[in-house]
Each structure stands twice: as C-alpha cells, then as structure tokens.
Amino acid sequence: MQPSNHDAFWMPFTANRQFRKTPRMLVAAKDMYYTADDGAQVLDGCAGLWCVNAGHARPKIVEAVQKTVAQLDFAPTFQMGHPLAFEAADRIAKLAPADLNRVFFCNSGSEAADTALKIAIAYHRVRGDAARTRLIGRERGYHGVGFGGISVGGISGNRKLYGTMLGGVDHLPHTFDLSRNAFSRGLPEHGVEYADALERIVALHDPSTIAAVMVEPMAGSTGALPPPVGYLKRLREICDKYGILLIFDEVITGFGRMGSVCFAAEKFGVTPDIITCAKGITNGTVPMGAAIVRDSIFDAFMHGPENGIELPHGYTYSAHPIACAASIATLDTYAEEGLFDRAEEIAPYFEDAAHALRGLPHVIDIRNVGLVAAVELEPRAGAPGTRGYEVFERAFRAGLLLRLTADTLAISPPLIINRAQVDEIFGKLASILRSVD
C-alpha cells in the first residue's frame, strides 16, 4: 500500500522537506532484514532504532501479541490489575542486578526517564529530605524528549526551541576525548577523572540539595560513547558519599546490547539505584518502558494509610496487556536462544570488522563496546552533518540501514546477527566511505 501523499504525517527527528524529495519506505521486516517498497532487502544495521534486539517478526512474540489482543485487549492498572503485568514485572526484576526488584511500567524511554526523576525527588521527600530536588545530568546525554528528560539530557538541539527547562539542573562534562581515546577497542583507557566533576558540582550546589545523578552507561544517541575505565564506579562512589541516587538510563544498553548479561550495570560492575529501560523490553514490537528501582526506594513510600496512593504517577497504558505479553515472549526468546551470550560471542568479530575501517577516507575515530560500534567522520568544512547524511543515504540505497547522528554512524544490529552479515555491514560501509568526497 502506497500513501496517497506524504503531507499529513509530521515525521519525528526528520528533515521532513528533505525526506519528501527522496522518501525511504519500509513495508515489511523479518529477522535481520527490512523490505523496502521497491522490494529491495535492507540489512538492519541498527536494530530498527536500537530496539529490535531479537530480530524482526519473531514467531513467539508475534503469537503472544495476536493471542493477547483477542483475549484481553486492554485492562486498566489504576486500582486494578491483570496477570500479565505481574508476570512481566517479575521476569524483568529477576534480570536486574542486586535488589532492583520493583518495576514501574510506562510506554517509552522518555516516560521511563521522567518516571525515574519523579521517583527520585519523591523518594527524598517521603524520607523527610525535601530539600533534595536538584538533578544532575551529563553533556551529550539523551534521556528522551519529555521536559524532564531534555532538561537532564545534554543535547542542545533537543532543548533550544522549547524555552525554559526544569530548574535546578546541572550537567557533568561528557567523556568524549578524541585526543586521547581515538580508535579505542572497548572501554577507553582515559577519562575516569571526568567523573570527579561531580565533586565540584556537589560543592557548588550543596549535596543536601541534590536528589539524583542520571547518566547513560554508554551514551548512545550522541554517537555511542563508551564510559572510560573506572568512570561509572567513581560516579557511584561520589553518589554514595553524599546520599545521592544514581540512575542509569539503559534504554539502549539494556537487554543484551552489551553482551552476556541483560544490563550494562552488570557488565560494567556498577549497581545504580534506578534503571530505566524500554526498546528491547518488547523487542520494539509494542511500545513499553519501565523504571526498575531498589527495594529500599519502594519501601520508603509504603507508609501512611493503606488506602492512600503512595506515588501519584502513571499512564493510561502502564503495563498494557499486549505490551506485557510481548515483553514476556521477548524475554523467553532471549533466554531460549541464548541471545545475550550470542552477542558476547560475536562481539570480538564485530569489533575487528569495525576497526578494519580505520584508515579509510574521512574516518577520524572508531569506537565500540558490546554489539555497538560508532564510526566518526570528519565534518565537511562549513557543512557539518552533510557527509554523514550522504553515507547514510548511500548505505540505504545499497541495502544497509545505519543510525546517523550528524557525522557519526552508529551500528547496533540485532543480536541474532551472524558473521556473514557482519561482513556485509562493514563491507558495504567501507565501499561507500571510499566513494564519498
């Protein structure tokens, strides 16, 4: 089915006028490939939008959605419940590290971020520490597009059109250090000291005013920036020192993207107080997100009259039955096919293939961690982003879908990828890089 026109849909994060000149339409998907409207097969090099970790149209997930929509299309979770919500929450809690056993469902990573920030501020208040309202994010951080997320996030282009952000927010410096860490394999060796900026921020604002620090373990949307060795551990130490909650935004890094384990928190050996997640929670099949919190945070709210609402927050579609069914089936698929371990096993081959691009025209950095790689291109003088977009567009025409942020190309394929498909991704990308001015 072809659209009658392209006018009505205001596309998100898209140069709408540019798109309308040369539309790119996807009409079907299966396993590692999309099908374009001209019938061409397009290798999915970015798991849709970092979300289709188990590959497209997986039978168990499709069946669960079909069955549930016919049996329980919707059920409210305000003062009501349905079994799938409790099953999905239990399954996710079992995958989370340490005592992060309480799961608050929402519908996206953006909502998960705002949920976590509200829980953090409310947590201090119910403990009698109401002065703790300040939030600390990081430059180049991305936490979705709610006002909380873009306030704590550090992407200027996502903020500048919307006026005043949340008050009482400050930002750590980003960790991208091209002069010392270019072409790092895995976690960069230099940059743990960037975490010490939190000490300066704490001293400036007074620790008794700070509720939480929120960071992505690996900054994803601004170009796949792995954390320096020891950086996350140092943030944890400083937060513990001053009684500040530490929130990991694992919307991108969760559900096997880092390999071997579900969450980057375990991969990097640092346990936060709250994890936000989405995307891979349902394999991208149905919108869903969650904030996973420590027992101690949940318990702090469980006082007062039993008929009182402890946290006045939620969404009509929190724990939607179809989303819960998709999540359970997704987690089954991950487990039955050993996809987290599979990501771990293929990661070294993926890393070598990515770094084989070193020395090609315009490539000024390659970095990787888990099943994520980023290729940084030198911007064109006076026209930043145009070289990256040209590579992105040529790749699509050659049957390869990449993720683009200005002049950074991100590759984060489904965890089911095989070696031949890794070769296809980086072989096509190499050919395109050789041909671009």
Cα within 13 Å of Cα(230), Cβ side: 7
CA–CA gap between residue 172 and residue 200 (Å, rounded) = 10
At residue 318, the 3 state secondary structure works out as: coil
pLDDT per residue of the chain (437 residues) written in tens, 0 to 9: 677 788 899 999 999 999 999 899 999 999 999 999 999 999 999 999 999 999 999 999 999 999 999 999 999 999 999 999 999 999 999 999 999 999 999 999 999 999 999 999 999 999 999 999 999 999 999 999 999 999 999 998 998 899 878 899 999 999 999 999 999 999 999 999 999 999 999 999 999 999 999 999 999 999 999 999 999 999 999 999 999 999 999 999 999 999 999 999 999 999 999 999 999 999 999 999 999 999 999 999 999 899 999 999 999 999 999 999 999 999 999 999 999 999 999 999 999 999 999 999 999 999 999 999 999 999 999 999 999 999 999 999 999 999 999 999 999 999 999 999 999 999 999 999 999 99
Cα–Cα distance list, 427 to 167, 196, 245, 354 (Å): 47, 40, 44, 10
CATH assignment of 16-54+338-435? 3.90.1150.10
Q: Report pLDDT digits (tens) over 393-435.
A: 999 999 999 999 999 999 999 999 999 999 999 999 999 999 9
Of the chain, the end-to-end C-alpha distance in Å amounts to 36
Please give the angle made by the CA atoms of 352, 353 and 354, to the nearest 5 degrees.
90
pLDDT of residue 140: 96
Query: In this structure, are strands 245-249 and 274-277 parallel, antiparallel, or unpaired?
Result: parallel
Residue range(s) of every CATH 3.40.640.10 domain in the chain: 63-336
Contact 286, 280 (CB under 8 A): no
State in words which class domain 63-336 has: alpha beta
Cα–Cα distance list, 80 to 83, 281, 328 (Å): 10, 23, 20
Complete DSSP assignment for 209-259:
GEEEEEE-SSB-TTT-BPPPTTHHHHHHHHHHHHT-EEEEE-TTTTTTTTS
Contact 114, 146 (CB under 8 A): yes
pLDDT of residue 1: 67
Of 412, 408, 401, 116, whose CA–CA distance to 256 is shortest?
A: 412
CA–CA gap between residue 391 and residue 435 (Å, rounded) = 9
In sequence order, which residues have a C-beta less than 8 Å from that of residue 7 and are 6 or more positions away? none
pLDDT of residue 5: 83
Task: Give the pair of three-digit tokens for residue 132.
Answer: 């703790």
Q: How many CB atoms lie within 10 A of CB 186?
A: 14
Residue range(s) of every CATH 3.90.1150.10 domain in the chain: 16-54+338-435
Contact 420, 63 (CB under 8 A): no
Contact 224, 372 (CB under 8 A): yes
CA–CA gap between residue 232 and residue 359 (Å, rounded) = 31
Number of residues that this document lists for the chain: 437
Cα–Cα distance list, 365 to 37, 267, 286, 360, 400 (Å): 34, 24, 35, 11, 21
